Structure 1
Amino acid sequence: MDLQLAGKTAVVTGGSKGIGLALVRTLLAEGMRVVTGSRSITAELKETEAVPVAVDLSTVSGPVRLIDSAVMELGGIDLLVNNVGVGDTDDFSKGVRLNLLELPDDAWEDTFNLHFYSALRASRAALPHLIERRGTIINVSSVGARAAGAGPANYNVAKSALSSLTKVIAEQFGAQGVRAITVSPGPVGTGVWTDPDGFVGRLAKEQDVPHKAFVEQLVSASGVTTGRIAAPEEVARLIAFLASPVNITGNEYLIDGGMIKHV
């Protein structure tokens, strides 16, 4: 199926690995020109034809610098995907282990800077260019935004705010041709789940359970109907479809293997 993306331009945050890297590859395969921003530029990213920008998106100036670099490189922006997330595994783990009385303000601030404010700042910087081209913003949230009792509380709340931001953008700029959509993955086969030194791998070691068995336990306990975690490429394909010319805006799309049960 021709997604009619060839010749268009995209900015992807957090494109050095995981979902972001899979998305960069998918958009390039669809004929798009891609600029991506991340703290590090991995060997895998260098192998693609994307233009990498080394930038800390959790800072005030980082997202603006990325968008400015993208406009200089691409001449304009048709698609912005706010994907950057998780960050340091220790910070992520802290949000799981500590409750509201224990989790300090700086943990909340760091999490919101990376997961919410980076998207807000990138969106504000990109919107004039997206209005000009009647473009699209896709925010990568998480099923955690709907699961208050599981996962890092600060991460889940930040992702909930990100999902709400999507609605605001869709309503305020829809009449000017800009679409905004949320994609919320459940468990995905990124380093968080697959790396022995990642978040899930560390939990497995702490509980003295083999990594693979621990992943299976978590997936089962989470109620994932398909019984498996998603591949980053599956999330990337969904995002690419939503980036194509379809009359969809303001919506949230779950890709969670049936984890979220309520209507």
Structure 2
Amino acid sequence: MNLDLASKTAVVTGAGRGIGLATVRTLIAEGVHVAGAARTVTPELKETGALAISADLSTADGVAAFIDAARTELDGIDLLVNNVGAGDDVRLGGFLDVDDVQWARVFDLNLLSAVRASRAALPSLIERRGAIVNVSSMNSRLPAAAPVAYSAAKAALAAVGKSLAEEFGPRGVRVNTVSPGVVRTSIWEDPDGFGATVAAAAGVEHGAFLQQIPAAFNITTGRITEPEEVAALIAFLLSDVAGNITGADYLIDGGTVKTL
């Protein structure tokens, strides 16, 4: 399918690895000029040929500086992917284990980064009749004891996306949400990451835990999602092929969420 994205410009947050990096690669393969932000610019991001910018997207100043630099270097923004999320403050533990500092940090990175980036990019997006995709999570639909702040932030992000779609749709800007389930990224696979912490808490060796994920999460397809699959969905929603889709929230979770 020809997505007809060549010559468009795009901004991707959380672009250093995982879904963000896969999205950068997918968009560049479609001929898009991309600016990607990450707290740490990885060699993999540099190798894509994207404009790679180091930015702390959990802060208002960091988001503003990144969007300003991207808009200047790209001479305008057609597409925005608000992907940055998770972070070191996503931890195991119930409601009473999460203090105000953690709540604030989780919301700054997982919700307010997207609010701030969208606000800064919207003048250009309105002018160019562009599109936004926010990357949420299936956690926004699955009540669970943990991680409570992350799940709440992602639910709020999906709600903000619907509000933006309603307000700016008449002005030519489409806004959609993608909500992945478990994706093969460092969050799960890093020996020092969240997945390893979950495995340790369950008393299971990390490698064995990763193999058990499809069964433990009751994933219908029997496997976890690849970052490139999420990136392909994001690219589709950004394109004019999806020109009459807005305000939607697409699960890509292998059938984990089974409710209507």
- Does the TM-score normalized on the shorter chain lie above 0.5? yes
Alignment of 1:1-263 (within 5 A): 1-88=1-88, 91-93=89-91, 96-97=92-93, 99-149=94-144, 151-245=146-240, 246=242, 247-263=244-260
Task: Give TM-score scaled by structure 2 length.
Answer: 0.96
Q: Is the 8 A contact 2:190 2:196 kept in 1?
A: yes
2:225–2:253 CA contact under 8 A, matched in 1? yes
Find the aligned partners of 1:206 and 1:151 in 2 and give their Cα distance.
13
How many residue pairs are counted as aligned between the two chains? 258
Percent identical among aligned pairs is: 56
Shift of 1:202: 2.8
Per-residue CA shift, 1:128-163, capped at 9, x if unaligned? 000000000100000000112154000000000000
> Does the 8 Å CA contact 2:175/2:247 hold for their aligned counterparts?
yes
| CA deviation after TM superposition for structure 1 residue 204, in Å | 2.1
Paired letter, 2:182: P
**Distance in 2 separating the partners of 1:204 and 1:126:** 39
Give the distance between the partners of 1:103 and 1:155, measured in 2 at CA: 11
TM-score, length of structure 1 as denominator length: 0.95
Q: Is contact 2:178–2:252 with CA below 8 Å preserved after alignment? A: yes
What is the letter of the counterpart of residue 249 of structure 2? E
Distance 1:200 1:240 in 2: 27
Q: Distance in 1 between matches of 2:206 and 2:191?
A: 7
Q: Which residue identity does 1:41 align to in structure 2?
A: V
Instruction: Give unmatched runs, 5+ long, in structure 2.
Output: none
Letter in 1 for 2:74: L
Query: Secondary structure in 2 aligned to 1:250?
Result: coil
- The residue type paired with residue 90 of structure 2 is F
Q: Could you list the per-position Cα deviations for residues 11-62 of structure 1 after superposition, in whole angstroms to 9, with x for gaps in the alignment?
A: 0000000000000000000000000111100011111110011110000111
> CA, structure 1 residues 150+212, in 2 after alignment: closer, same or farther (shift >3 Å)?
farther
Contact 1:136–1:180 (8 Å) recurs in 2: yes
Output the CA distance in 1 between the equivalents of 2:48 and 2:146: 33
In the TM superposition, what whole-angstrom CA distance separates every residue of 1:221-240 from its partner, at most 9, and x where no partner exists? 22211111101001000101
Asked whether the equivalents of residues 178 and 234 of structure 2 are also in contact (C-alpha less than 8 Å), the reply is yes
Contact 2:95 2:145 in 1 (8 A): no
Provide the secondary structure at the position in 2 that maps to 1:148.
coil
